[in-house]
Structures are given as structure tokens and as C-alpha cells.
């Protein structure tokens, strides 16, 4: 009979959520020797990651720190601590180690050379399976039993799972059809966890358009334009970029960059004003002089187009916001072209947003992102109360927070071995 003591079983870690944060936790935990089970409510993992990469996977951004950190607004100091362990260059190196080379686009955004998310995700999941991670799909997490086991609703009925520690990486509430539906909020609140309301981030806004504008110009791009608005502190902000007229209002990359300020202004005041410069680079005096030239037999619209260079969608915005008689006053038209105010009535619903703000308040967590109310349970990714603009900042912080939570779980388990 052998006197060799039996090898202890590895500690068991349950990860709930199969987005990038959950997958990255699984990778780190598995490499540390933990037995990892990953659960997802959908039939496959990484669905939002795949959809986000359809137009070109924006993995991260090349902006240097600390300017990079400032993109996280009120949470920049907390997120900076996560980034100290895993930042944008580290994310690019991680992708390269998986055979995915990246490049910096003209806007500073970082993309895979092939622009695709699917090859990266397929290779990642395959490597995790080979390393021993056990995937459980069609498992919707519903909370905990009194003895700490996790509860899951599955097509075969309720299933219970025992683990020594857990990481929640369930995302926010945007794009619920892909799995991030915010259903975890009441579950955690019932446990006494402080959760900030989930609200839309990187979203469009409602404007009271006329039927004519919607029928003729919904879907039309506005480019280039300069957006002017005030942040929550009342400071004037400006950004040149592109946006899109929609059937309900306005959206697009430039609008998303201002969305947090505009959303908060609406919450505070009931509405917000976004002002557009429809002719960036055009001198107001020269623009007015061009508009003052006799139009002869040309229509007002044709005269406007020739004098200002505005396309049909931009011209339609002017006709939408100025009374007919205003077009007899070149000074007024020129002023409107350079500063056309739009009254934003509401942010679009959270389900339509690219991401969400709000989530588990950081005060409810320790520095390792463990819930103070439930020792042994850690939180990562978009579930946390932070937000960022598009451009790779969202994904980078998801990875960075996942690393913190993963190491937090590893250390917590090691201390109890």
C-alpha cells in the first residue's frame, strides 16, 4: 500500500457569463490550476463580442495613458488601477500571442488585421476547452441556494452547482437578445448589494422630427459636423465627427461620445441641447456673403446648396428648424448653419444602447472586486458601475477588471486551502 498522500482536488471556480470578461477570468483561473466551470444563458458564448466585431472588431485604443484613463470619467482612478495590471498594449500582446496581429487605424482605434472577431473567439474557446474549462450553455443564473450553491434555469429544469468561489460577468442590459439583459440586478439587490440603476450609454437620442424629414431622410449620414454641448459641470465641449439622422432622432459615433453628458442633462433638466455646425471649416462671414448673392430663379433649396455646400440631409435639418421666412435673412441662415440647436427629449432605450452605465457600485466591492456582502463572489466587466465611450475603451476595461477579479478569486481560494 502506498504511503503517498492523495493529491488534493483543485479548488472549484464557477464563472457566470461567457463574454470577454468571463472568458478571460476562465483563462487566468485555469492557468492557475483551478477547476473552472463557465455558465452562459445562451446557446454559445461571446455573442455580443461577435456582433460588435461585425463591422470590424475594435479591440482597444492606442491613446496613451493617463489620457486613456480619463475616458472613464468619474471612475477613471478606479479603472486606472485595473489598467495598471492589464492595459491596451497588454491586450494587443495577448491577441498577438493567439496569432491575431493588430493595427492602429487612422482614428487611433486598434483592430485585428483581418478586422474579424470570429477567428479570435473560436481559437480562444477552443484553447479554453483544451485547457480543461467546462462550458455549460443554456444555463440562466437565478441566484443562490441557502447553502451557497448556484441556481440555474435550464431547458431540463433547475440545476444546482457547488463551487468554492464564483465570478459574475453577466454584462449590462444592452442588446438583451444576446444575453446581457440585466436580469441579475434584482438578484443581487435581494442580497443587499448596492446596484446603481442601469442606464443607456453610447446611445442615440430622440428628437421631435416632422413626418417629412423622417420619410425623406431617416438613415442619412451627417458628415462632417461639429457637435457643441455642455458637460455636467457646465463646460463647453466640441467634437468633430459623424452622426446619422434616424426615424426617432439622432445617433452615431460623435453622438455616442457626448452621450453621457447629454443623458445626464436630460435626467437633470428634462431635455438637453445639442448644437450642430453643419459646415465645419466654413468662415461664418464668407458663408453669409455667399448666401447674400442673388438667387435669381433658383429655389431656396438650390441656392442654399450652391452657397453653403450642404447636402440634402443637412439642408433638410435647416428647413426643419427654421421658419420659411428666415431663409430671406442670409445672416440668420448662416448663423443657423454654424450653430443649429437640436432639443434632445430622451435617450433611446437601454436595450438599444451599445453599452450601459450603472451596475454594482464599487463601494460594494473590495479592491479585488469581491462582493462585501458575499465573500467568495467576485464581479467583472460591464456589470460594474463604470462607463466609457466607444473606441476600444469598453473592451479594454472588461479585460482589465476580469484580471483583477480572477486574481482576487485565486488569492482568496489560496488563503483558504
When pLDDT is cut at 50, 70 and 90, the band that residue 295 belongs to is: confident
Note the pLDDT of residue 232: 84
More confident residue, 295 or 254: 254
User: Which run of H or of E encompasses 50?
Assistant: helix 47-52
Q: Which residue matches cell numbers 491613446?
A: 63
The pLDDT tens digits for 101-160 are 999 998 999 999 999 999 999 999 999 999 999 999 999 999 999 999 999 999 999 999
* Mean per-residue pLDDT, 165-192: 96
Ramachandran class of 138: left when φ > 0, alpha when ψ lies in -120 to 50, beta otherwise: left
Tell me the three cell numbers of residue 128.
Answer: 479554453
Tell me the CATH architecture of domain 12-200+355-415.
Answer: 3-Layer(bba) Sandwich (3.50)
What is the DSSP pairing of strand 150-154 with strand 157-161?
A: antiparallel
More confident residue, 4 or 336: 336
Q: Average model confidence (pLDDT) for the chain?
A: 95
Note the pLDDT of residue 361: 98
Contact 386, 75 (CB under 8 A): yes
Give the start-to-end residue ranges of the domains of the chain. Answer: 12-200+355-415, 205-347
> Rounded to whole angstroms, how far apart are CA atoms 81 and 260?
22
User: Which run of H or of E encompasses 250?
Assistant: strand 249-251
Contact 249, 206 (CB under 8 A): yes
Q: What is the DSSP string of 144-213?
A: E-TTSPEEEEETTEEEEE--SEEEE----SSSGGGT---THHHHHHHTT--EEEEEEES--EE----HHH
* Mean per-residue pLDDT, 179-184: 94
More confident residue, 219 or 300: 219
* Mean per-residue pLDDT, 231-238: 92
- In three-state secondary structure terms, 328 is helix
Direct distance between the N- and C-terminal alpha carbons of the chain, in angstroms, rounded to an integer: 27
Note the pLDDT of residue 1: 43
| DSSP-derived secondary structure letter, 8 | P
Note the pLDDT of residue 301: 83
Residue (of 416, 397, 415, 368) closest to 70 by Cα position:
397
Note the pLDDT of residue 89: 98
The pLDDT tens digits for 23-34 are 999 999 999 999
Contact 108, 3 (CB under 8 A): no
β-strand partners of 183: none
The pLDDT tens digits for 328-384 are 899 999 999 999 999 999 999 999 999 999 999 999 999 999 999 999 999 999 999
> Rounded to whole angstroms, how far apart are CA atoms 13 and 406?
10
Residue (of 41, 368, 382) closest to 196 by Cα position:
382
pTM confidence score: 0.93
| pLDDT at residue 243 is higher than 70 | yes
| pLDDT at residue 4 is higher than 70 | no
What is the DSSP pairing of strand 272-277 with strand 221-230?
A: antiparallel
- In three-state secondary structure terms, 61 is strand
| pLDDT at residue 6 is higher than 60 | no
* Mean per-residue pLDDT, 188-195: 98
User: Which run of H or of E encompasses 244?
Assistant: strand 236-245
Amino acid at each position: 500500500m502506498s504511503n503517498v498522500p492523495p493529491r488534493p482536488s483543485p479548488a472549484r471556480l464557477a464563472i457566470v457569463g461567457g463574454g470577454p470578461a468571463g472568458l478571460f477570468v476562465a483563462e487566468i483561473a485555469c492557468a492557475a490550476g483551478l477547476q473552472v466551470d463557465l455558465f452562459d444563458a445562451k446557446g454559445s458564448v461571446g455573442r455580443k463580442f461577435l456582433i460588435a466585431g461585425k463591422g470590424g472588431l475594435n479591440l482597444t485604443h492606442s491613446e496613451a495613458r493617463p489620457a486613456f484613463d480619463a475616458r472613464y470619467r468619474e471612475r477613471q482612478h478606479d479603472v486606472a488601477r485595473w489598467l495598471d495590471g492589464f492595459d491596451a498594449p497588454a491586450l494587443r500582446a495577448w491577441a498577438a500571442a493567439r496569432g491575431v496581429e493588430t493595427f492602429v487605424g487612422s482614428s487611433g482605434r486598434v483592430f485585428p488585421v483581418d478586422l474579424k472577431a470570429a477567428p479570435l473567439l473560436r481559437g480562444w474557446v477552443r484553447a479554453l476547452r483544451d485547457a480543461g474549462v467546462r462550458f455549460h450553455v443554456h444555463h440562466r443564473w437565478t441566484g443562490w441556494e441557502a447553502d451557497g450553491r448556484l441556481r440555474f434555469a435550464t431547458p431540463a429544469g433547475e440545476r444546482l452547482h457547488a463551487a468554492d468561489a464564483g465570478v459574475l460577468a453577466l454584462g449590462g442590459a444592452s442588446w438583451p437578445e444576446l444575453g446581457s439583459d440585466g436580469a441579475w440586478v434584482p438578484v443581487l439587490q435581494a442580497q443587499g448589494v448596492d446596484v446603481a440603476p442601469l442606464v443607456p450609454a453610447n446611445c442615440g437620442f430622440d428628437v421631435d422630427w416632422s413626418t417629412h424629414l423622417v420619410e425623406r431622410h431617416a438613415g442619412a449620414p451627417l458628415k462632417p459636423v461639429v457637435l457643441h454641448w455642455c458637460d455636467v459641470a457646465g463646460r463647453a465641449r466640441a467634437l468633430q465627427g459623424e452622426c446619422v439622422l434616424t426615424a426617432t432622432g439622432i445617433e452615431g459615433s460623435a453622438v455616442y461620445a457626448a452621450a453621457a453628458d447629454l443623458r445626464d442633462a436630460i435626467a437633470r433638466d428634462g431635455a438637453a441641447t445639442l448644437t450642430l455646425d453643419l459646415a465645419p471649416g466654413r468662415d461664418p462671414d464668407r458663408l453669409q456673403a455667399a448666401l447674400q448673392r442673388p438667387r435669381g430663379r433658383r429655389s431656396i433649396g438650390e441656392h442654399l446648396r450652391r452657397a453653403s455646400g450642404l447636402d440634402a440631409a443637412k439642408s433638410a435639418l435647416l428647413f426643419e428648424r427654421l421658419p420659411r421666412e428666415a431663409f430671406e435673412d442670409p445672416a440668420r441662415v448662416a448663423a443657423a448653419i454654424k450653430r443649429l440647436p437640436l432639443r434632445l427629449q430622451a435617450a433611446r432605450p437601454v436595450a438599444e444602447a451599445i453599452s450601459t452605465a450603472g451596475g454594482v457600485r464599487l463601494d460594494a466591492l473590495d479592491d479585488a472586486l469581491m462582493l462585501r456582502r458575499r465573500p467568495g463572489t467576485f464581479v467583472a466587466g460591464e456589470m460594474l458601475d463604470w462607463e466609457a465611450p466607444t473606441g476600444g475603451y469598453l473592451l479594454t476595461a472588461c479585460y482589465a477588471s476580469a484580471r483583477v477579479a480572477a486574481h482576487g478569486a485565486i488569492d482568496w481560494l489560496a488563503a483558504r486551502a
